[in-house]
Chain A
Amino acid sequence: MPHTDPLLVGTDITVKADGKTLLNNVSVSVCENEIVTIIGPNGGGKTTLLKSLLGLRPIASGSVKRKKNLNLGYVPQKLVIDRTLPLTVQRLMQLTGSYKRAQIEDALGETGVAHKIHDNIHSLSGGEMQRVLLARAIIRQPELMVLDEPVQGVDYLGEIALYQLIEAIRNKYKCGILLVSHDLHMVMRASNRVICLNTHVCCSGQPTDVEQSPDYQRLFGSRGLQTMAPYGHRHGHFHDIPPDPASLGDHSAEGHSCENHHHCDHEGHNHAG
């Protein structure tokens, strides 16, 4: 079924640098209308994984497959622009494509920074810049949005609003969203699938199932659990995840009982993804 083909599939990705293994046999896939979130400790390879999937850094082994002519919007973790480059928000919005004034205003309006359209980007605060960058990705009406810590520098209430916005964008455009976050509690409510990454995939699956995984608890401790609890919500149905959390502790690259890579339709289980 063509509509269930994943937008982006990374299979057994291994990345090495200076003899160190940054990623070890990591597999991930994103389908349309799905939010996949990668969480993990600092240095766990989250950004490395995104860059490998985007073709921005070489992989030692494994493969990355993109849907043909995939329209993609990317918000990188950090964007340092030299102050000698005079750039207004309006101009930045047209960095990789041309858009009409009204489209630019709409996109900026969606992330709440429409009033900044004429501002110099060097005068924006960190949070405003993130919103502008998010708007810049939205304006492309991408099939897949790749967001690397999109809410950094945004205050707490703004964070909730931005995650709600990301969810709303998914609902509106039915695009796939691949998200990196360290905000455990925030991530839980919006994601369809969470991948906990610490060089290898520690565990993956639905947010509520990952949160019960002993691997996850070991990585993030009880603090993560406490802050997360109010936001966690159970979906009304189980996937191919057994209720026994102990089985999630399997460290081998394959055989994660909670993995459902290459399956796009969350409601059904038996199609050949």
Chain B
Amino acid sequence: MLDDFFIRALLGGIGIALVSGPLGCFIVWRRMAYFGETMSHAALLGISLSLMMDLMPFWGVFAVSIAIAMALYGLEKLDRLSSDTLLGILSHASLSIGLIALGFMAWLRVDVMSLLFGDILSITRGDLALIWGGGILVLGLLLFHWRSLLAATVSQDIASAEGLPTKQANLVFILLIALVIAVAMKLIGALLITSLLIIPAASARQFARSPEMMALLAAILACLSAILGLNMSMIWDSNPGPSIVLGAFMLFLLSLAIAPLVRALRPPQR
């Protein structure tokens, strides 16, 4: 079964989607979409560095994503520029440096397109093992820190005043984003990773009544996006990365359209 490249792509896409849905909810709740974007753009710099140092791309991406997050944390303390502006600076600087570094390594003949938009059809068994292993790790950590993370999302002050380990939870959250980006980089590329975090979460918001329900719905919708997108790319021979994002976008539009209907059909709350 795993010999079929399409099945491998599907399994890989679903593996990422199961994780990106719930994690994406936190990114949306915390208004960190641009933050996720910046961390994933930095992934390209990570790829360049790992090629230069002959490392597995995963580690380069993971390390650089975290370094960017820490740099941002440090720069925010300067208090002169808004984090919005800082994100814009870091995001594009790391993307540009990554691209320039790749250009210098002309002998490697790197396919820049696949780095920016992913190459899910070339996924190997090893990649699959990484995706599912990493995915289970991320979900486990997310569940373990759920209460602290959610409480800190609602109110950092309440959560930490009442003794929850918010600092630890916030740190784990950054690590999880970096981990997902490092794993998803090969599948849908540096430019599109955040869409799989944010779009399914936004669609799930239309129907969810609790944070837990929204996370679950987002996971399901992200899986559907991957399945839908990969099938579209098969049928139309389109680029699979952008096709998955298109699938997510179509589901988002659908959620907007049917949300009022679902709300109308719901039994009224007591």
Interface mask (A131-156 → B, CB under 8 Å = 1, otherwise 0)? 00000000010000010000000000
A79 and B269 contacting across the interface, CB-CB below 8 Å? no
A79 neighbours in B (Cβ, 8 Å): 154-155, 158
Chain B contacts for A55, CB-based, 8 A: 160-161
B157→A54 contact, CB < 8 A: yes
Q: Find A73's partner among B151, B162, B270 (CB 8 Å cutoff).
A: B162
Are B210 and A86 within 8 A (Cβ)?
A: yes
Question: Does any Cβ of A come within 8 Å of B141's Cβ?
Answer: no
How far, in angstroms, from A146 to B163 measured CA to CA in the complex? 14
Q: Does B114 interact with chain A (Cβ within 8 Å)?
A: no
Closest Cβ–Cβ distance, residue B83 to chain A (whole Å): 16
Q: Give every chain A residue within 8 A of B163 (Cβ-Cβ).
A: 72, 96
* A88 contacts across to B, CB distance below 8 A: 209-210
- CB of A236 to closest CB in B, whole Å: 36
- Interface footprint category on A: 20 to 34
A93 to chain B, nearest CB (A): 12
CB distance from A78 to the nearest CB of B (A): 9
Residues of B within 8 A of A56 (CB): 157, 160-161
* A240 close to B (CB within 8 Å): no
A32-72 CB contacts (< 8 Å) to partner B: 51, 54-56, 72
Least CB separation from B209: chain A residue: A86
Considering the chains assembled together, what is the distance between the CA atoms of A85 and B154 in angstroms? 8
B150 CB contacts on chain A under 8 angstroms: 95
A39 → B minimal CB distance (Å) = 21
Produce 1/0 per residue, B246-270, CB < 8 A to A.
0000000000000000000000011
In the bound complex, residues from chain A placing their C-beta under 8 Å from that of B29 are 82, 84-85
Known contacts A81-B154, A92-B154; A72/B161 CB under 8 A: yes
By size class, the interface of chain B is: 20 to 34
> Is B270 a contact of A74 with CB atoms below 8 Å?
no
Partner of B208, one of A82, A86, A95: A86
A91 lies within 8 A of B211 (CB): yes
Least distance between A147 CB and chain B CB atoms (Å) = 12
Interface presence of B153 (CB below 8 A): yes
B205 within 8 A of A: yes
Question: What residues of B have a CB within 8 angstroms of the CB of A169 in the complex?
Answer: none
- Cα of A259 to Cα of B211 in the assembled complex, Å: 47
Q: Please indicate the chain A residues that have their CB under 8 angstroms from the CB of B28 in the complex.
A: 82, 84
- Give the interface centre of B202, B209, B213 by most chain A CB atoms within 10 Å: B209
Jot down 25 A-B pairs with beta carbons below 8 A, ordered by A.
A51-B157, A54-B157, A54-B161, A55-B161, A56-B157, A72-B161, A73-B162, A76-B157, A76-B158, A79-B154, A79-B158, A81-B154, A82-B30, A84-B205, A86-B205, A91-B211, A92-B154, A95-B151, A95-B154, A95-B155, A95-B159, A96-B158, A96-B159, A96-B163, A140-B162
Chain A positions near chain B (C-beta within 8 angstroms): 51, 54-56, 72-74, 76, 79, 81-82, 84-88, 91-92, 95-96, 118-120, 140, 146
5 A-B pairs closest in CB distance: A74-B161, A54-B161, A85-B29, A96-B162, A86-B208
Given contacts A55-B161, A72-B161, 6 further A-B contacts (CB under 8 A): A54-B161, A56-B161, A86-B213, A91-B211, A95-B151, A119-B269
